[in-house]
Structure 1
């Protein structure tokens, strides 16, 4: 078999989050708690701000803590009496209870774990992501949860992957496959580090002309047949 380990992104790869509306519902509950109406525009403003802050963090312009402390720093919520940082603490607590696998994820992990070591490799807070994984039916098949907080480096930086491989004791990059739904972080990150990747193309987006992914699947249930 070509691979020894598989690294999985978590959000919208192993576990649903934004793709199935989970985040939108969480956002609505959070704003309702502080007496603010959750509109589609408000939610889009939050998503845009979150993406902007993560991009700044990836460029070393701000820390990851600044992402979490400021992504709720939005005009429509500033007068609610709760700080942006505290709102994010509440949001993280809600997220810890969201552990629904994406389509095909359970079958994929069950099959691959019979002959491969499976790990997560995701950006985010360690407690939040580990709690979500541990509360899911995928937990028995995953060796360890790695996050940007636990390795102290953001994906897609090469050092993110390097630290994980050192931790699991794998030196041969050809034995590693990265699987994720975000082309820029998961596919390009893996490519720049020198490992194979599988793009989980949930939204059936057009493949970039460069097409740097080794594999592409619409759901994780299709992955075992490609690599086993």
Structure 2
């Protein structure tokens, strides 16, 4: 049976590119390089816990349009470091600068990503819709080997609108030459990817590798990437 879909739109971070692994590797490298365990008198795991909580909260505010890109970048490390005590602002600024350079160069992908994309590439035109920053997302795509699989890269900071707002989905459809009926949005975030796509009239695949419980009913829910070709390419 021929799939009704022609265009597949993927989220990037946490969906294809393993954000947690790559971010943590970069933070561990820099924390050791700057000898921050001694400067802050805090083990790296305590810092990581504080940073991730602050970063997640700021990204939520960014998606809601309540903080800017520059504010997000500046505040996440400043607040994380200051929660353990004073640290020279120049050190914080340098740490942030090096993190933004180092983290996108990490190449860990979610399990089965390349195999899944390779299987689907011959049958579908694939694109990215991301709330990440364009300059860093391009580095991630190139370094991790993902770039050749995708045609359109739609970044929220370029458009000035974040998922789950319909405008970013509509703009991606237009740039890809796709329409709502022949497109499928695939992502790991129920609010941002799944409900955003649903509210735009686009079918959705919820990538839920941890099997987290919820009350939503996406078009399809999967835990491993091997399930997506099995669904889309069924005879």
Higher helix share: 2
Q: After alignment, is 60-69 or 190-199 more displaced?
A: 60-69
| 1:6, distance to aligned residue in structure 2 (A) | 0.7
Structure 2 distance, partners of 1:77, 1:114, is: 54
Match of 1:129 among 117, 121, 137: 137
Match of 2:8 among 2, 6, 9: 6
TM-score (norm 1): 0.89
| 1:81, distance to aligned residue in structure 2 (A) | 4.3
Match of 1:157 among 157, 160, 165: 165
Structure 2 distance, partners of 1:79, 1:51, is: 22
In the alignment, structure 1 residue 102 sits paired with structure 2 residue 110: yes
Counterparts in 2 of 1:82 and 1:165: CA distance versus 1, 3 Å: same
Structure 2 distance, partners of 1:100, 1:42, is: 22
Q: After alignment, is 123-132 or 36-45 more displaced?
A: 36-45
Match of 1:174 among 151, 171, 181: 181
Q: Please list, as runs of the form range in 1=range in 2, the aligned pairs for 1:42-191 lying within 5 A after superposition.
A: 42-74=47-79, 75=82, 76=84, 78-82=86-90, 84-170=92-178, 172-191=179-198
Structure 2 distance, partners of 1:23, 1:203, is: 19
Q: Is the 8 A contact 1:187 1:199 kept in 2?
A: yes
Q: Is the 8 A contact 2:129 2:154 kept in 1?
A: yes
Q: After alignment, is 128-137 or 145-154 more displaced?
A: 145-154
- Alignment correspondent of 1:17: 19
- Bigger radius of gyration: 2
Structure 1 residues not aligned, in runs of 5+? none
| 1:50, distance to aligned residue in structure 2 (A) | 0.9
Structure 2 distance, partners of 1:80, 1:202, is: 40
Structure 2 distance, partners of 1:110, 1:86, is: 39
Aligned residues: 223
Secondary structure at the aligned position of 1:40 is classed as helix
Partner deviation per Cα, 1:53-93 (whole Å, 9 max, x = no partner): 11212222222332122111121375144364543322121
Q: After alignment, is 133-142 or 110-119 more displaced?
A: 133-142
| 1:7, distance to aligned residue in structure 2 (A) | 0.9
Backbone CA RMSD of aligned residues: 1.8
Secondary structure at the aligned position of 2:32 is classed as helix
Q: Is the 8 A contact 1:126 1:150 kept in 2?
A: yes
- Alignment correspondent of 1:225: 230
Counterparts in 2 of 1:88 and 1:144: CA distance versus 1, 3 Å: farther
TM-score (norm 2): 0.87
